[in-house]
Structure 1
Amino acid sequence: MLDQLFKKKPVLFLMLLLPLLCSSIMVPETDFLKDSKVTPGKLEFFRDSVRFEVSGTIPIESALSPRSPKLSLLFKSSESFIRFEDIELTKKVAEYVYKESFVLAYEPWMEGAFLEAQFFQGKKAQTDPYQKKILARGVITTPLLAKIGNVNPDEPIPQVGLFISTGVLDADLSRSQEFLVKFDAGSSTIKMNAANKKAIADLKSFLTENSSVMSFKITGTQSPESSEGKSSKLGMDRAEAVKKLLLESNVSLKENVTEIKARTNDWFDFRLQLRGYEKLSTQRKDQYYAVLLDGSDYQSQSLSLKKIPGFTQVANELFPGLRAAKIEVVAKPLPGLNQTQSALLQNALNDNSASSDLDLADWAIAGETTPRLEDKAKIYSKMTELFRSVVPYNNLAVVKMRQAQRTLDQATKAKLWKEANELLYQASKIGTDPYVLHNQGQILVLQGNIWEAYKKLSDASVLTRNQDFLKYNESLRGALDIMRGDYKLATLRFDYAYSEPKDFFNKGLAYYLSKDYANATLSFEESVMSGRNYGYGFYGLAMVAAQNAQTEVALLQLEKAINASELIYQKALVDPIFEEIRSSDEFFQIFKPSVTINEK
């Protein structure tokens, strides 16, 4: 029968047989998305948006392939998604070409999202793509790490708002200062020369003016000279010698705030000296930093430094500054009301009278020295009845701001911010004051209104030359510069002597985003040294190490960072900065919870 069919209708027979023959031949499937790419290769947050370009080609195989081609994008996370309109395809001789730019207003869910190209062909109503390709995973949101006063779970509550000081007391701002006691080469004996006498005298003067000591560190250091030795014994002897001298000079050293330590075989202090050394060009300094940050051991770095032209002169001028013991003190003044004044204060608080035997300065001191926010609120509230002054309105507003920081209820938080803003408005009607503008700006920052906040903070800086105020105001302004994408400008905002790890971190962030990795490293290290439980300094060091392809260093610093904060832990899991090392077993090993002996 088949023979007869073949003889009578051979064409029909071939048509029936052709599909069977074709199905047995392995034809490679065309990868229509092979050339599809996104620029930049890693999506980044910049200012308030995510900007990228998608481009590529789709090969034309024949008149029927691809058939009715369509290309679209999907940006999706577990929380939300954006499906874009089809990308326009321009037909050429042998391919379709496409290039399209996108600007997305950033939303938090985008940080863990992926960008996927989806190719369709065939029926127009088709919902499942013919091919898919992930172009990018996550969004780099490094600028959003800037510390601006937001409260995060399992982290200390940031201090926000600035009280107006009477000038007698500045209880809200701590003051830090360094004093250097120098030694002869190889010696731990203190010679009371003019420089050392002045250092001790300046220290005593500082402690007299700032009697409440919060931190007192004595660090013995050694230069890399052979006469200084290779162990930390000389450095520790120097630190102990300074401690003994201070005790003999009637300087009180409270054990709970005093730290005695030594540093040796460490180029950290030398790097700090290089920063302020003006006899080297920027290019020459970069040579030094390239050695000091290459991750090699101390001895290897020492040999490499000696090969840099002019090192002998630099060593002769800087090494003597390392034969020393550095005293670092963080303290604040502690005045207050006497017994008689305290009694008058209590009478006034319990009385409905519109007068008081205490003046404005006495009331202000009472408010500033009272530790509990509830007591401050009572004092400043009473002051608004007694005095027409910016001080009580501003300071009561700060109390409201700090109470808002301590509540988890969003409605209560918003109510307290509203009350604080109303008080600041009343203060502004009495007089123009930089503290009022700063506090208005801080509330706007916490409410997410970055641009209006920046104007308030800028106006505040114009109104005063008070260095303590500027240090605080400019640090917040610098954090906003980071978020606004003005990274170079941000680095200029942090030209102050800070003591808080968050300020050092923000400074390092500004340098990192400006691609000045040497200064970024120094600032992140200072953040770590000022607060080892503050994980963001370690995270910054991990970012620099990842940028420099130092995988082992990055993993080491990242492990310290994620152990300090749950927020950092979650961020590190999706941060594209660590994409190159995320596939390694070592990366996921540091995220595994530790197992105790009893659990084994």
Structure 2
Amino acid sequence: MNVVKKIIAFFVLSTTIASYSCNVVQVKKKADNQKIYLEPNALERLGDSVRFSLIVALPNAMLLKNETYVLSPYFKYGNETYTFDKKMQVKGDTLDVYSGVKLKESFTMPFVAGMEKGSLVARGAILNNQSVSQQETDEVLISQGIITTASLSQIGQYRGQEQYPVLGLWAEPSEPETLGMLYENSWEDLAKIFTAYSGIPFTAKAPFLAIIEGPGDGTYKKNKMKALAHYAQVDRDVLKRFERTNAQSMGGFDEVSNLQLSILARSIRSGTVPADTLSEKDYIRALNMEPGWSEKEELLRAMVEVYPSAYSYNNLGVVFTNRANRTQNNKDRNQLLENALFAFNRSNGVFENPYAAHNLGIVFWLWEDKFSAYTSFYRANSLTNSDELIKIHQAALGAVSIFNGDYRLAVIHLNKAAQNPTNLFNQGLANVLSGDHYNATIQFEESAIQNMGNGFPFYGLALIAARNGEEGKLYENLKKAITRNDFLRERAVNDFEFAAFHKKEGFKEVIR
């Protein structure tokens, strides 16, 4: 009897082993039958992240009822691996054995430097009802590299140009929009004058005071006042007088000669003469005479001690911003941007103005916080009725919209901006990314005509040629771009817009 039991046990064990071996082979075959698709068909940086969808097609009868299919994607770059929290999975008992199934899932990962050369890969696995993996597929390459074309949008970054661009809005007291930004002729002074004014009923003053003490620049406030009763009288008796006083304080005969002013300014910067030696007007003159950012910073630091105003704090912030843009050391750069942030907030603290609001957007742009940048530029745009300033704000809004992946919104903003080489390039870039190659070509060509020494519009034309498969035009325009700008030469080597051409001799010849 014992012998019979042993024979039966041996037969059962042998059958189980054979069955298991067969199952392993079948599971491996099942897992390998997965079809993985990327949507869109290439990874692209949008703002500060990379967003995409994966679609997995599984054949019918792939899973038994007690099995679960799981796909685990991850992104490898350099020596790093980014693992997604989400996985794609489906249970066999939910499927129809007579039809295949498609799974779709959206994924997002933060973009960090170095990812542009990385790879999106995945492994598929089939688990049993105890969630134990029966078999995994080999690592499957889904996509290579990340397209970062939207990051070419420009708001004055230094990218191999002959000179560093000047960033931010510098306030000039002679402009109507900067009315009320000075310490000695501020909106607070106008509010005091208006409070003492007896030409209109007391109850009619409140709306005017609310506008005077509220946000906005000179053009914005005056435009709002035009809708109020008694505006014509107030404008004649109060506003025009205030404007004349402002103009007189900025004009007239110089009390200090340019030579004397230069000597006094140098002494204030060195700390040998008190900061209140110069008038506010003389500080403004001295600032316009100083070519260097360091000298401007020293003067403005002294100026805010004795004449703290929306003007002095805003312009001090502009100095910090431009010094940060010229600083390679990351710690020093961030400290300068912190200083700029503080200065612009102090300027807005006096009264919220479009200069400081716009310049806050520049700080956020340099910190790569593009959504905060957009909010700041949008707020700046709402604080003015000046056509010139609105065009500047719209240009910035367009550039940020490109980076954030909203290309059609970018086109709308940039159509309202000045048609200079930078804005035309950004317009072309937005149209390329939204698929409008016709208008993009026109805008890149016009940008190139306005500044033939700029390599960026030729790079844009090369992008269009690559997307259209026009190899000859690609090489022609890429050569023009990289001979004008070394930054573009280095970028082209690893730009996945040109991935189909990287190994071709024509491309290699252009890059050499």
1:103 equivalent to 2:107? Answer yes
Structure 1 partner of 2:260: 343
Tell me how far apart the structure 2 counterparts of residues 449 and 396 of structure 1 sit (CA, whole Å).
22
Aligned pair partner of 1:116 in 121, 131, 135: 121
Name the SS for the 1:590 alignment partner. helix
Q: Which amino acid aligns with 1:398?
A: V
1:130 equivalent to 2:137? Answer yes
Alignment of 1:302-381 (within 5 A): 340-347=257-264, 350=267, 352-353=273-274, 355-356=276-277, 359-381=279-301
Tell me how far apart the structure 1 counterparts of residues 288 and 362 of structure 2 sit (CA, whole Å).
20
- The offset of 1:125, in angstroms, is 7.7
Tell me how far apart the structure 1 counterparts of residues 504 and 34 of structure 2 sit (CA, whole Å).
26
1:547 equivalent to 2:472? Answer no
Conserved in 2, the CA contact under 8 Å of 1:57 and 1:98?
yes
Richer in helix (by share): 2
Q: Which amino acid aligns with 2:106?
A: F
- The offset of 1:546, in angstroms, is 2.3
Aligned pair partner of 1:445 in 359, 365, 379: 365
- The offset of 1:461, in angstroms, is 1.6
Structure 2 partner of 1:382: 302
Q: Which amino acid aligns with 1:427?
A: S
Conserved in 2, the CA contact under 8 Å of 1:166 and 1:365?
no
RMSD: 3.8
Q: Which amino acid aligns with 2:263?
A: Q
Per-residue CA deviation, residues 130-155 of structure 1 (Å, 9 max, x unaligned), is 34432222222222221134445787
Tell me how far apart the structure 2 counterparts of residues 37 and 538 of structure 1 sit (CA, whole Å).
33
Q: Which amino acid aligns with 1:148?
A: I
Alignment of 1:67-82 (within 5 A): 70-82=70-82
- The offset of 1:342, in angstroms, is 3.4
Tell me how far apart the structure 1 counterparts of residues 261 and 163 of structure 2 sit (CA, whole Å).
36
Name the SS for the 1:101 alignment partner. strand
Q: Which amino acid aligns with 2:280?
A: L
The TM-score with structure 1 as length reference comes to: 0.58
Tell me how far apart the structure 2 counterparts of residues 449 and 589 of structure 1 sit (CA, whole Å).
38
Name the SS for the 1:545 alignment partner. helix
Structure 1 partner of 2:89: 88
- The offset of 1:86, in angstroms, is 4.5
Alignment of 1:188-199 (within 5 A): none
Q: Which amino acid aligns with 2:74?
A: L
The TM-score with structure 2 as length reference comes to: 0.68
Per-residue CA deviation, residues 77-124 of structure 1 (Å, 9 max, x unaligned), is 225323445521354425763413122133133322222233346999
Aligned pair partner of 2:168 in 161, 169, 181: 161
1:497 equivalent to 2:455? Answer no
Structure 2 partner of 1:405: 325
Alignment of 1:263-274 (within 5 A): none
Percent of aligned positions that are identical? 27
- The offset of 1:480, in angstroms, is 0.9
Structure 2 partner of 1:415: 335
1:506 equivalent to 2:511? Answer no
Distance 1:435 1:31, change over 3 A: same
Name the SS for the 2:32 alignment partner. coil
Structure 2 partner of 1:42: 42
Alignment of 1:180-579 (within 5 A): 340-347=257-264, 350=267, 352-353=273-274, 355-356=276-277, 359-494=279-414, 495-499=416-420, 501-579=421-499
Conserved in 1, the CA contact under 8 Å of 2:44 and 2:51?
yes
Conserved in 1, the CA contact under 8 Å of 2:392 and 2:418?
no
Name the SS for the 1:404 alignment partner. helix
Structure 1 partner of 2:3: none
Q: Which amino acid aligns with 2:122?
A: A
Structure 2 partner of 1:57: 57
Structure 2 partner of 1:262: none
Q: Which amino acid aligns with 2:368?
A: G
Name the SS for the 1:166 alignment partner. coil
Name the SS for the 2:123 alignment partner. strand
Conserved in 1, the CA contact under 8 Å of 2:54 and 2:105?
yes
Name the SS for the 1:72 alignment partner. strand
- The offset of 1:538, in angstroms, is 1.5
Q: Which amino acid aligns with 2:143?
A: A
Structure 2 partner of 1:267: none
Distance 1:48 1:401, change over 3 A: closer
Distance 1:471 1:337, change over 3 A: farther
Name the SS for the 2:53 alignment partner. strand
Name the SS for the 2:311 alignment partner. helix
Conserved in 1, the CA contact under 8 Å of 2:399 and 2:426?
yes
Tell me how far apart the structure 2 counterparts of residues 125 and 40 of structure 1 sit (CA, whole Å).
33
Query: Using CA pairs below 8 Å that are at least 6 residues apart, which structure has the higher relative contact order?
Result: 1
Structure 2 partner of 1:589: 509
Tell me how far apart the structure 2 counterparts of residues 353 and 430 of structure 1 sit (CA, whole Å).
25
Tell me how far apart the structure 1 counterparts of residues 390 and 371 of structure 2 sit (CA, whole Å).
19
Q: Which amino acid aligns with 1:102?
A: S
Conserved in 1, the CA contact under 8 Å of 2:31 and 2:125?
no
Alignment of 1:167-182 (within 5 A): 167=174
Q: Which amino acid aligns with 2:418?
A: A
Distance 1:126 1:88, change over 3 A: closer
Per-residue CA deviation, residues 264-310 of structure 1 (Å, 9 max, x unaligned), is xxxxxxxxxxxxxxxxxxxxxxxxxxxxxxxxxxxxxxxxxxxxxxx
Tell me how far apart the structure 1 counterparts of residues 302 and 259 of structure 2 sit (CA, whole Å).
15
Q: Which runs of 5+ in 1 are unaligned?
A: 1-14, 19-28, 171-335, 594-600
Name the SS for the 2:56 alignment partner. strand
Tell me how far apart the structure 2 counterparts of residues 33 and 338 of structure 1 sit (CA, whole Å).
87
Distance 1:365 1:470, change over 3 A: farther
Tell me how far apart the structure 2 counterparts of residues 402 and 418 of structure 1 sit (CA, whole Å).
13
Tell me how far apart the structure 1 counterparts of residues 287 and 393 of structure 2 sit (CA, whole Å).
22
Distance 1:412 1:63, change over 3 A: closer
Q: Which amino acid aligns with 1:134?
A: L
Tell me how far apart the structure 1 counterparts of residues 50 and 122 of structure 2 sit (CA, whole Å).
17
Conserved in 1, the CA contact under 8 Å of 2:56 and 2:104?
no
- The offset of 1:156, in angstroms, is 4.5
Distance 1:381 1:97, change over 3 A: same
Conserved in 2, the CA contact under 8 Å of 1:58 and 1:95?
no
Conserved in 2, the CA contact under 8 Å of 1:404 and 1:416?
yes
Tell me how far apart the structure 2 counterparts of residues 122 and 589 of structure 1 sit (CA, whole Å).
51
- The offset of 1:416, in angstroms, is 1.4
Tell me how far apart the structure 1 counterparts of residues 62 and 258 of structure 2 sit (CA, whole Å).
96
- The offset of 1:129, in angstroms, is 4.9
